[in-house]
Each structure stands twice: as structure tokens, then as C-alpha cells.
Amino acid sequence: MSLHVVVGKGPVGAATAELLADRGHAVRLISRSGGPASRTDGSVEQVALDASDGVRLGEACEGAVAVYGCAAPPYHRWVEEWPALSAALLDAAERSGAVLVLAGNLYAYGPTEAVLTEDLPAAANTRKGRVRARVWQDALRRHEAGRVRVTEARASDFVGPGVTAGGHLAERAVPALLKGRTVRVLGDPDAPHSWTYVPDIARTLVRLAEEERAWGRVWHVPTPPPYSAREAVETMCRIAGIAPVRVAATPWAMVRLGGLVSPLLRELVEIRYQFDEPFVVDSGSYCETFSEEATPAQDALAATVTWWRERLAARP
């Protein structure tokens, strides 16, 4: 079995590790917390270490054919901590000779009225957008110098099983709607928005690691046509078999006020452009190149509802 190293065990890292194990690979899943082997066959080994420690990460990646960068610093620490994490991932890939596949997002493009495509410039004017653009720029420089083989899969906001506090259609929305309560969202509830299904992200990361023609550039993860937060909530209500609930915008003034005590809320203000206006990604390049399509939104939202119902039922 070939060894694949997944760095980060959030929703995307966990889904990627499971997919790789399902395909018969040996998987090393790296996180700060570690833990016991997550499958009965022992195919997913969990290792506890700080991924920004380049020496230890390099040791953990020895012998790997691919490294998947699915970790991220705490949201309010991106500017301070992304450079070290990015450098450690690149160093580990260079030392081991593994292909490095980065799980990215759309922040680097910055505010634009255009549909987001891979050929847009990295024009971010926000702190988090600039640091994410730098992650890819640093990686591409090493790739072009022949030091690493790297690619990046960019996704929009996550939806699907395993997405909790970090998702806008997750902990902030699904438990409330299942109880028939008002769902409060950021920005315009009726603005078209792209949402990317976590299993589609995992599938894309694994495919890009296998495809030499994919290396040295950015790809957008297959993402279905956009739908608004209100449409998402209404669809999940239908799936759950409950009456539609009210959907209301959280005033940005309230977000700013909450930011006085919450670092997460404080950081959300600079990306309000993603929620006040249409925020739409085009993943046609990947879909056409690799003959793959996004999971339909209806199926992704159904899986989300099922996962949350099971999660809530298991709570004491």
C-alpha cells in the first residue's frame, strides 16, 4: 500500500483520509490532538504533532507519495500563523518528494463582481485574502523551481457532514431549523452563493494528487449552481419534512459588537463582500478536464440534514 499523509483532521481532512483508506491506501492523519487509529483495519494512523514544526512534519511525511494540506490556523490567527504552516508543508513535500495538494479557498481573489474562475488575479485587499494568496504564490515558486510538485484545490463555503461551527449552513443554521426556529445568516439571505460539498473536496484532492497534468496550477472544486441561504434553508426544511422557518439577516453592526469579545466574529467583518452580494464560483475547468461533476445540491443538503439529526439525537 502506498502511504498518503493528510495534515489536518477537520471536515475536509477527515473525509480525505477516509476516502484514501476506502481505496486501499495507508493513511497517516496528522493533527495537534492525534488519537487512536480511526478504522478497525488500522489503515488510518493518527499522529499528534504541530504541523507548523517543519522538522517533525518532514519526519512524518517520509515515504509518502502524497501530502494533503488540509490544516488551517485558527481563523483569527491566519496572518500570524499561515506563513509557518505553509513553509512546513512545502519543506515536508520537498524533503519527502511527495506531491503536495493544498486545500484552498476563494479569499485570494478579493471582492469582484465577476464569477470566480481560476484565471482571475490574486487581487485580495483583506488581511486574510492576502495571506492566502501568499500561500499559493510561495508554493508555485517552489514548483516552478523544480523543488516540489504542488497543486491547490479551491472550494467555496463548506456544506455537508462534519461541518460544524465553521460552516454558515451548519451549526448556525441546521439545529435551529430542525427545531422550527428562525435561522439567522450573514449578509443578504437572497444573494446567490456557491456552496461546496465536503466529500467533493476530498474526491478532488485525491484526484489531483494522481494527475501529473494537474500540478502547478489552481483548480476549483466541482461546485453546483449557486443558491441563496434562504433557498438552502427552505430546501433543508422540505427534506426534513418540517414547515418552512423564518430566515433573517444578522445585522453587521451586531457582528461588529460581538467582535468586541469574539475573535471569530471580529474577523468576519472584512469578508462581508462574500455575503452581501452574489458570490459565485465556476468549476467548469476541473469538471471538463477530469470528466467529473459536483454532487447535486439537493443530495448535499439531504446528507447535511441527516448528519445533523444523528448528531443532535446522540447528545445527552
pLDDT in tens, 235-265: 999 999 999 999 999 999 999 999 999 998 9
Same domain, 120 and 181: no
Same domain, 20 and 131: yes
- What average pLDDT does range 72-98 have in this prediction? 97
Same domain, 53 and 181: no
pLDDT in tens, 93-146: 999 999 999 999 999 999 999 999 999 999 999 999 999 999 999 999 999 999
Same domain, 102 and 182: no
Same domain, 150 and 49: yes
Helices (H), the chain: 11-22, 54-60, 78-96, 127-144, 174-178, 198-210, 229-240, 252-258, 263-268, 273-276, 284-290, 297-314
Same domain, 65 and 171: no
CA distances from 177 to 11, 157, 307 (A): 22, 19, 14
Number of domains in the chain: 2
Q: Is residue 287 part of a domain?
A: no
Same domain, 10 and 47: yes
Answer yes or no: are the C-beta atoms of 255 and 186 closer than 8 Å. Answer: yes
Higher pLDDT, 264 or 69: 69
Burial of 294 (0-12, 13-18, 19+ CB in 10 A): buried
Q: Is residue 291 part of a domain?
A: no
Rounded to the nearest integer, the mean pLDDT of the chain is 96
Q: Is residue 174 part of a domain?
A: yes
Q: Is the pLDDT of residue 40 over 70?
A: no
Same domain, 241 and 123: no
Answer yes or no: are the C-beta atoms of 160 and 11 closer than 8 Å. Answer: yes
CATH of the domain at 233: 3.90.25
Residue-number span of the structural domain to which 84 is assigned: 3-156+195-220
Q: Is the pLDDT of residue 214 over 90?
A: yes
From 204, 220, 236, the end of a domain falls on 220
CATH of the domain at 206: 3.40.50.720
Same domain, 252 and 241: yes
